[in-house]
Amino acid sequence: MEGEVTAISFDDFDEVWEEEDAPAVPSPGRIEEIESRKPEVELTRIPGRVRDADFTRIGVLGVGSFGKVVLAKQKATGDLYALKFVSLARLQDRKQFDRALDERAILATLEHPHVVKLHFAFRVKGHAVLGFEYCAGGELFHHLCKKRVLNAKATAFYGAEIALALQCAHEAGVVYRDVKPENILVDKMGYAKLADFGFARKLAKTERTFSFVGTPDYMAPECLRQSGHSASADWWALGVCMYQLLVGDTPFSRLADGRKLRAICEARVNYNRRGISTAAASLIRLLMQPDPGRRPLPGSQGAAQIKQHRFFFMIDWAKLEARSALSPYQPPPCDPEAQVLDSSFSFDHVQELEELALADVRVGEDSPLVPLLQDAASQPLKSRASMMSPQLQRVSSQKTSSPSPIA
């Protein structure tokens, strides 16, 4: 049955970093460090060792800065998994190397119905591979592109689920740092799951980080100023997401350069837009306070404040966490071939997808600030396809042409 395959120990994954094709990371104690950073909670090992040969690759689901996500079927069971291939050649410095380690270590310790589940890990041909549950509904962004906007009920449902996922992360000392619709997946039952923990980081309770990472339109003022941020930056990003679901674009998507930076830092948000009710405006203002000290606190205390907000009056939080609440959308019976960007996946023919990944607006610590705030940093929804080649545009249009059942 789907989901029966639980995660293996990460010993096999750690071997990746000892191979000849591992990145040249300047640290004499590299292997010892890797060993010391294995997950505190050891995951159940499935019988035998998971290998690339155990799977039939169906196609590419998406691309990112250091690799791609491939839909694959396990030959023995027929179960579908999303395999994240991390290119070792692209991990060029210590920060990137650490981030790859952090993702698997964090996901090994997080267990929540609204966090995508990591099942196993292995290595193949210059790549570390993480095996995730497959979410048949795809990205929430995909559905937003089709519908343009979601109604208040659907926005409350998805926003509440991500709030629960962030509560789980914060209680584990994890700041997520890249909340956006592209990183929210919809599973086969219509429930949302937070995915892609590539920018997540563990912080002590009172610790702040000064890293410049994330996606500009969703980054809190303190992240852009590099004045130090904590998990409260995730609540800001959740507010941006909920605004986007209701309106169709982020509060800052139509601004460029310095205007965008100033608007974010001053939290200049236009609440007089169709779809923004008084209750929605009140919640988004709470989440998008320019002063992080005035936002909900990270963890259960802040989550309790959010749960009590009147915008969520229809949400039964216990049922939602138990996955017994009625979802606003349930994906049709899975057609894996219809979900992929490219059905002819190979390691030697991914140049176009790699180029598309370079247009991704996610940024790391070393990226200069000004270019991030230029027009390409955050295009409105309708212009995203302009970054694709004609072939990928055709695939994208096929994926978005059918009507969405989300009201």
Please give the chain's pLDDT, 407 residues, in tens: 343 443 333 444 444 333 333 334 334 344 344 334 444 333 333 445 788 899 999 988 887 666 789 999 999 999 999 999 988 777 665 566 666 667 888 998 899 999 999 998 888 887 888 999 999 999 999 999 999 999 999 999 999 999 999 999 999 999 999 999 999 999 999 999 999 998 899 988 888 888 888 899 999 999 988 999 999 999 999 999 999 999 999 999 988 767 888 999 999 999 999 999 999 999 999 999 999 999 999 888 899 999 999 999 999 999 999 999 999 988 776 566 555 655 444 444 333 333 333 333 455 554 444 344 433 333 333 333 332 333 333 333 333 333 333 54
Beta pairing class for 67-74 and 138-139: unpaired
- Structural contact between residues 247 and 149, judged by C-beta atoms closer than 8 angstroms: yes
pLDDT score, position 338: 56
pLDDT score, position 406: 52
Rounded-to-integer distance, Cα 233 and Cα 194, Å = 16
pLDDT score, position 340: 60
Residues 310, 312, 316, 318: is their CA dihedral positive or negative? negative
* Residue whose entry in the numeric block shows the structure tokens 């690759």: 57
Give all domains of the chain, ordered by start, each with its CATH number: 11-133 (3.30.200.20), 137-407 (1.10.510.10)
pLDDT score, position 62: 83
Residues 6+ apart with CB under 8 A from 58: 70, 71, 72, 73, 80, 336, 337, 340, 343, 345
